[in-house]
Structure 1
Amino acid sequence: MRKLISFDDETANALKLLGADRRKSLQNLADEAFADLLRKHGRPVRLKDALRQSLRDFPANDGGHARSKR
């Protein structure tokens, strides 16, 4: 998915310098920043994280019902 994001000149220059210092592209810096933001707010970053989180919300073996013996 592509989205257009605009920065003021000062922020754009700071990001350009940071990318050069870290040898990362602007895309890599953005990916890292957005992943950190999602983690900060307790949101899953990847599909695997979302699936893991959904399993915790609905535990299959919660011990709520006993099985009858035949």
Structure 2
Amino acid sequence: MRKLIAFDEDTFDKLKQLGRDRMATFQELADEAFADLLKKHGIPIDLRDALRKSARLDSSANKAVPRRKAKTTRR
């Protein structure tokens, strides 16, 4: 999907220079930036990330509820 994004001239020049310095395309820089933004807000980037997050939530939910020991009766 293509979307149009506007940058001021100074920002665009700095992004072009960063791309040259890192030998990366503008698309690679944008992919990295948006992946970092999604990660910052806890949104999984792909299926693997979603499964990891789900597994962590499940394991932490299981730890939150302490298990009761069966009571032994004395006679």
TM-score above 0.5: yes
Structure 2: 5+ residue runs without aligned partners?
63-75
Aligned residues: 61
Give the aligned partner of residue 10 of structure 1: 10
Give the aligned partner of residue 23 of structure 1: 23
For residue 51 of structure 1, report the CA deviation from its aligned partner: 3.5
Provide, for residues 23-44 of structure 1, a one-character-per-residue CA deviation record: whole Å limited to 9, x for no partner. Answer: 0000000000111111111110
1:35 aligned counterpart, secondary structure: helix
User: What's the % identity of the aligned pairs?
Assistant: 60
Please list, as runs of the form range in 1=range in 2, the aligned pairs for 1:38-49 lying within 5 A after superposition: 38-49=38-49
Structure 1 or 2: larger helix share?
Answer: 2
For residue 57 of structure 1, report the CA deviation from its aligned partner: 4.8
- Displaced runs of 4 or more, over 3 A: 54-59
For residue 45 of structure 1, report the CA deviation from its aligned partner: 1.0
TM-score norm. by structure 1 comes to 0.71
For residue 50 of structure 1, report the CA deviation from its aligned partner: 2.0
- Larger Cα Rg: Structure 1 or Structure 2? 2
